[in-house]
Amino acid sequence: MRRKFTVTLMAAGLATGALHWLSPSGAVAAYETATLDTDEDFLPDAVEWVVLTDVSNPDTDGDTVPDFVEVVEGGQPRHENAPLPPDQRLRVVITGPMPGSSDPRTWMHVFHRVITPATAAGAGATAIQSFDTWLERPEWPGVRFPLNVFAAGGLVYRERVTAHDGVWVQLSVPLVSEGVLKQVLPCTIYAETTVAGQALSSGMTLINLPAGISSIVPYDPGRFVIQTLSPIPAQPVVGYSNKVCVLELLEDTTGPAGTTYIVVAADCEDANDLECAPSCPSSVGWTITIPGGTGLIGGN
C-alpha cells in the first residue's frame, strides 16, 4: 500500500507554502558535515562524491551548464553537452557519512529544479504539490515500505532563485546509520512528486559491497559507475590513479524484481580523485538487476 513520507517536521506539507517548518537554522549547525557545499553549487560535497562531480568546481565539465542543473536533469555533468529544455526536474541521492564526521547516519537528498514565473522566496516549495518517498526490496516487488521508519528526524531545506535556470530546491533528511541500512540491502529508495501539475519520479538502487554501501550512478549514455556512498581515502594504484571503473550495460531480461543487465564492457576512466582497481576489466559478465530499469536512475 502506498504511504506518505510523514516525518514529523514535514507534517505541514509542501503544498501549503508554510515555510516555517522548513527553516534550516538549527539543522545546518547540527548537520554541517553532511550538507557542506564547498563550491556553493547547491550540491553538498557528500552528494558530489556520489554523482562524480567536482566539489571545487560548480561546472565540472566547463560547458556553462551548472552541475546542479545537469545532476538534477539526470544529464552528464562530467561531459560537455547542451542542456535539456527547461522543465520541472527531480533527483534523489543517498549519501553516507563523510570522513572525520561524528555523524554516522546516511542521508537522503531530494533536489528539484522548478520552472516557475515566480521569483519570490518560497516559490519552489509552493510549486511542489505532492511528495512521496518509500523503499522497495527486490524479493518483494511492488511492496512499498514507508521511509519514515528509516528517518532519524530533522531536515535541512535550501532554496535558490536563479535568473535563467529556475528555482533550485534541496531537501535533505538524515536516515539511519550505514550499519542499520545494510540490513535491508539490496533495496531501492524512491521519490515521487508533483510539481506544477507534472508528475516526477527518481530512484536510487543501493547494494552492499566490500568497500561499503554503493549505488549505480549514470556516467554517460549506456554506461554507469558503481559508487560508494561515503568517500574512500585515496590509495594510489600504479597505472590507475584518478580513474573510476565505468560499466557498459546491455539489457537482458525484465521481471517483477526489475530489469537485469549484463556488463559487456568495463574500462577505467578519469573521474576526480577516485581510484580504479586493476580488477575492473573482470567486471565483464556480471549481471545487475535494477528495479525500474536504468531509466529511473537519475530521475524524471
298 domain residue, yes or no: no
112 domain residue, yes or no: yes
Domain range for 86: 8-290
Please tell me the distance from the alpha carbon of residue 217 to that of residue 199, in angstroms, as a whole number: 22
198 domain residue, yes or no: yes
Residue 274: enclosing H or E segment and its boundaries?
Answer: strand 258-275
Note down pLDDT in tens along the chain; length 300 residues.
Answer: 333 333 333 333 333 332 333 334 434 444 577 888 999 999 999 999 999 999 999 999 899 999 999 999 887 888 888 877 888 999 999 999 988 888 889 999 999 999 876 555 566 778 888 999 999 988 888 899 998 888 877 788 899 999 889 999 999 999 999 999 999 999 999 999 999 889 999 999 999 988 899 998 988 888 999 999 998 765 554 444 568 899 999 999 998 878 899 999 999 988 766 778 888 999 999 998 888 788 777 665
Would you state the pLDDT for residue 40? 94
> For residue 111, which of 20, 50, 63 has the smallest C-alpha distance?
50
19 domain residue, yes or no: yes
Please tell me the distance from the alpha carbon of residue 144 to that of residue 57, in angstroms, as a whole number: 37
pTM of the model: 0.85
Please tell me the distance from the alpha carbon of residue 80 to that of residue 276, in angstroms, as a whole number: 23
Structure letter (DSSP) for residue 200: E
How many separate domains does the chain show? 1
CB 175 within 8 A of CB 150: yes
271 domain residue, yes or no: yes
CB 150 within 8 A of CB 135: yes
> For residue 91, which of 197, 237, 14, 189 has the smallest C-alpha distance?
189
60 CB-contact burial (10 Å; exposed 0-12 / middle 13-18 / buried 19+) = buried
Q: Which three cell numbers stand for residue 240?
A: 590507475
1 domain residue, yes or no: no
3 domain residue, yes or no: no
Phi, psi for residue 182 in degrees, rounded to 5 = -60, -25
* Residue 43 CB partners (closer than 8 Å, separation 6+): 37, 51, 53, 67, 68, 71, 111
24 domain residue, yes or no: yes
CATH of the domain at 145: 2.60.40.10
Q: How many CA atoms lie within 13 A of 19 on its CB side?
A: 17
